[in-house]
Amino acid sequence: MINDIKNDAEERMGKSVQSLIEAFKKVRTGRANPAILDGVMVDYYGTPTPISQVANIIVEDGRALAINPWEKNLVPQIERAILKSDLGLNPATNGDTIRLPMPALTEETRKDYIKQARAEAEKGRVSVRNIRRDANGSIKELLKEKMISEDEERGGQDQIQKLTDKFIAEVDALLANKEKDLMQV
């Protein structure tokens, strides 16, 4: 029973960390990264579709992306979608190719992005702690219903705490890497 609770908590904490990784992809660094466009949707025959499913996204050099739509009529729609997104990028069209230069980050924008990254990391930590609270609550329910002993309860809570510490450390490591990326000029 405790192992089931522990396994469920571990799976949910893993999903929280994965969610944080996805959130960090949206925090722009100075380098070009196709993952920054993951959340941008294009109207493709009436259906909102990610850009990566209607075009090839290529890193041209460290500071620019090239987007090659599979259908020429999608060029203006992709441009519109990028402009509407809150990424702060200005696409430049050259025939069938859309170039997306990544502006260099100023000290002020770096600090703003670091604040954003720290806020995302804190959401991840809170999520992991909430999962710990739920798991400990489930263990206490088992004790209340006399399905486990107090020693098993303490052991189960210790296991959940070790899991929590492991995932919080993972969140902190991801944040440290993102901050390092943001501070590189």
110 and 168 in a single domain? The answer is yes
3-state secondary structure labels for all residues of 84-99: HCCCCCCCEEECCEEE
List the domain range (segments joined by +) for residue 153.
2-26+106-183
Cβ-based burial of 181 (10 A; exposed 0-12, middle 13-18, buried ≥19): middle
- What pLDDT does residue 183 have? 81
Number of structural domains, the chain?
Answer: 2
54 and 97 in a single domain? The answer is yes
CA–CA–CA angle 158, 14, 168 (5° rounding) = 55
- What pLDDT does residue 60 have? 84
**pLDDT over 90 (residue 92):** no
97 and 158 in a single domain? The answer is no
91 and 47 in a single domain? The answer is yes
For the full predicted model, state whether its pTM sits above 0.85.
Answer: no
- What pLDDT does residue 185 have? 60
**pLDDT over 80 (residue 29):** no
Most confident of 19-33, 34-48, 87-101, 134-148: 134-148
- What pLDDT does residue 13 have? 93
Q: How confident is the model at residue 74 (pLDDT cuts 50, 70, 90)?
A: confident
131 and 73 in a single domain? The answer is no
